[in-house]
Amino acid sequence: MTIADQIKETVTSNDVVLFMKGTKSMPQCGFSSRVAGVLNFMGVEFADVNVLADDDMRQGIKDYSDWPTVPQLYVKGEFVGGCDIITEMTLSGELDTLFSENAVTFDKDAADKIREANG
């Protein structure tokens, strides 16, 4: 199985996947920490893939999405974006809409608290 096949399998078999540096419980960079922190705070169940554990995966995810940086968030098999995009979507409420439209469970009150704290 190629790296692209592994990535496709991962993003299609999990509702929400974060390709990141480190793990959701121990992020290894600030950008990965921010996105994982938002998802964790909002109570979103997500699979985490540590790209630091596998150089082929680290490059493979960049090739797969045609996006040059990590972290990368996928919802229902679709690439959503990296840290800046997820931050903007969280603050604008677009991430809530995306999760709702895709039947991804999240804590709306927690999402509202993020917006209040950053408003």
16-20: strand order across its sheet: 47-50, 16-20, 72-75, 78-81
Q: Across the strands, what pairs with 19?
A: 49, 72
Tally the C-alpha atoms within 13 A of residue 77's C-alpha that lie toward its C-beta.
6
Which residue type does 26 have?
Answer: M
Is 83 among the annotated ligand-binding positions?
no
How distant, in Å, are the alpha carbons of 38, 59, 98 from that of 29? 14, 17, 25
- C-alpha 101/C-alpha 89 separation (Å) is 14
Binding site for [2Fe-2S] cluster, by residue number, is: 29
Return binding residues.
Answer: 29
